[in-house]
Amino acid sequence: MKVTTIGTGYVGLVTGACLAEMGNHVVCLDVNPEKIRVLNEGGIPIHEPGLDSVVARNVAAGRLQFTTDVDAAVNHGTILFIAVGTPPGEDGSADLQYVLAAARSIGQRMTDYKVIVDKSTVPVGTAEKVNAAIREELDKRGATATYSVVSNPEFLKEGAAVDDFMKPDRIVVGSDDEQATLMMRALYAPFTRSHDRLMVMDVKSAEFTKYAANAMLATRISFMNELALLAEKVGADIELVRRGIGSDPRIGYQFLYAGAGYGGSCFPKDVKALVRTGREYGQDLKVLNAVEDANDRQKLVLVDKVVARFGEDLAGKRFAVWGLAFKPNTDDMREAPSLTIIEELTRRGAAIAAYDPVAMSEASKVLSANPGVSFCERAEHALPDADALVIVTEWKEFRTPDFDRIKAELKQPVVFDGRNLYEPTLMKALGIEHHAIGRGTTTRMG
């Protein structure tokens, strides 16, 4: 099939590359010429494991192209995915300006039947707005081309995006139109061969499903983070509690890790947008309001622990920070808890020596205005003369570090373990003061 993705970011690029992998002819359009230049020169503008080889293979096979040429891109696809950003507006609602601009650009050019797919995460009712924007543009130029608008939210996770797309848990298609549904079924058939994972529902339910999924996952995390705060007070270990409750299949083990708070380009903005939709309809979403508040507080938990240990005035103190990306296996810094933590520590006068395996370039752009931050090429280079090590993101390379070196290089062996990477008993045996999240006892030496 002929497919176009409008927007070549995390979602558009992964969608385009994976659809090309199944034999479709895909054109990825973006308004950012730099992104398209990098792709056309064989580079990948984001860090996403496995994506480079899928892109290279399909470009070489002539099935995947990148362009800024809107005419050519709209003309190419029979199925057009809108995969542009939907960032939070000032009031927390999803800003639809990019989605509607994409819709208009389609309406201004289309001459034959198209299926227009809302892949971006968009509030209930957006398909109607996309439909109206296209209709208006067609009417303006007296064109009569027919089209269908369907919703097909994306559930991929950064860092595992290619796998998630190639082996989806489910594919949700919101469609009121039989022809469009048949085309979506055909497009996704290669991804659901072992058993049918494609669910067709009405458009509004599909749009709502995406927010419900992210809101549920964010709720689990905030819930565990809140229990972790209490576990510390009562002397329980949240890791043992996690295993204890996760063994119940009704609960399950995933997304129950207490930590330094959730970040990323999705949970924070999608929780906000759903709360905002609730408000619009006179429905106060009390649980989700609390999920957001709890996460705001959680991003400060490591800072509170540092302040409790070293005092409110951190002038003259230096901290090694390991892990800057909002989670491992990505260079995405959007809403990363590290940003809040670094901002709060430097505001109190501390100097930061920061390291991340892949997000340094992104992080240095975002943190360029903060003179208190320096970047280190290797994790251990951040340690010398630091008063403590603060771990914010659980990259694999931090799981088994050289503890002797940590002890030798830090001014005193103090570790703030924001992702519960290390067992408190091991830290105690090693003589390392270990401040974890919700693990009952802090191993404070001396």
Of 25-33, 292-300, 309-317, 423-431, the window that binds ligand NAD (rule: CB under 6 A) is: 25-33
Instruction: List the x/- string, 154-183, binding to ligand NAD by CB under 6 A.
Output: x-x-x-------------------------
Residues 159 and 225: their CA atoms lie apart, in Å, by 23
Site string for ligand NAD, 348-377 (x = CB under 6 A): ------------------------------
Residue 176 burial (C-beta neighbours within 10 Å; 0-12, 13-18, 19+) = middle
Which listed range, 97-105, 194-202, 247-255, 431-439, lies at the site for ligand NAD (CB under 6 A)? Answer: 97-105
What's the min distance (Å) between Cβ of 40 and ligand UDX? 26
Q: Is 302 annotated as a binding-site member?
A: no
Active site residue 28: no
Closest distance to ligand UDX from the beta carbon of 136 (Å): 30
For residues 65 and 330, which CB has a smaller minimum distance to ligand UDX in the complex?
330
Does the annotation list 30 as a binding residue? yes
Compute the distance between CA of residue 433 and CA of residue 47 in angstroms, rounded to an integer: 34
Using alpha carbons, list the distances in angstroms from residue 61 to 21, 25, 58, 415. 10, 10, 5, 50
Q: Which two tokens stand for residue 132?
A: 């109206």
Closest CA to 149 of 187, 189, 184, 188: 184
Nearest to 129 by CA among 173, 82, 60: 82
d(CA 409, CA 389): 10
Closer residue to ligand NAD, CB minimum distance, 114 or 435 = 114
For ligand NAD, which residue of 65, 67, 121, 175 counts as binding (CB under 6 A)? 121
Which of the listed partners (ligand UDX, ligand NAD, none) does 32 bind, with a CB threshold of 5 to 8 Å by partner kind? ligand NAD
Antiparallel, parallel or unpaired: β 147-151 and 433-435: unpaired
Strand order in the sheet with 64-67: 64-67, 25-29, 2-6, 79-82, 114-118, 147-151, 171-174, 198-201
CB hemisphere CA count around 428 (13 angstroms): 8
DSSP 380: G
* 337 contacts 392 by C-beta, under 8 angstroms: yes
Nearer to ligand NAD, 222 or 265 (CB): 265
Residue 255 is a binding residue for ligand UDX (CB under 6 A): yes
**Residue 262 near ligand UDX by CB under 6 A:** yes
Pairing of strands 147-151, 388-391: unpaired
Reference 108, options 152, 84, 139; nearest CA is 139
Residue 158 counted as an annotated binding residue: yes
Residue 148 or 420: which CB sits closer to ligand UDX?
420
Rounded to a whole number of angstroms, the minimum distance from the CB of residue 130 to ligand NAD is 12
Q: Is 337 in the site for ligand NAD (CB under 6 A)?
A: no
The amino acid sitting at 345 is: L
Diameter over CA atoms, the chain? 81
Residues 52-81 that bind ligand NAD (CB under 6 A): none
Closest approach of ligand NAD to the CB of residue 83, in Å: 5
Compose the 206-245 pattern: x for residues touching ligand UDX by CB under 6 A, - for all others: --------x--x---x------------------------
Q: How far apart are CA 97 and CA 84, in angstroms?
A: 10
Is 441 known to sit in a ligand binding site?
Answer: no
Judged by CB under 6 A, the chain residues 289 through 318 that form the site for ligand NAD are none
Buried/exposed 90-105: b ≥16 CB within 10 Å, e otherwise: eebbbbbebbbebbbb
Tokens 């050289």 — which residue?
402
- Cα gap 353→360, rounded to integer Å: 12
263 is in an annotated binding site: yes
Q: 325, 359 in Cβ contact below 8 A?
A: yes
Report the partner that residue 217 touches, choosing among ligand NAD, ligand UDX, none (CB closer than 5 to 8 A by kind): ligand UDX
Nearest to ligand NAD of 24, 86 (CB atom): 86
Catalytic residue (choose from 18, 28, 266, 376): 266
Tell me the C-alpha distance between 295 and 309, whole Å: 22
Looking at 31-39, 151-159, 356-364, 397-405, which segment touches ligand UDX (CB under 6 A)? Answer: 151-159
Is 156 assigned a ligand-binding role in the annotation?
A: yes
- Taking CB under 6 A as the binding criterion, the range among 96-104, 278-286, 291-299, 404-412 that sits at the site for ligand NAD is 96-104
2-6 and 351-355 beta bridge pairing: unpaired
Residue set of the binding site for substrate: 155-158, 210, 255-259, 263, 327
Residue set of the binding site: 30, 35, 86, 121, 155-158, 210, 255-259, 263, 269, 327, 334
Which active-site residues does the annotation give? 266
Binding site for ligand NAD (CB under 6 A): 6-12, 29-32, 35, 83-86, 98, 101-102, 105, 120-121, 154, 156, 158, 265-266
Q: Give the footprint of ligand UDX on this chain (CB under 6 A).
A: 154-158, 214, 217, 221, 255-257, 259, 262-264, 266-267, 326-327
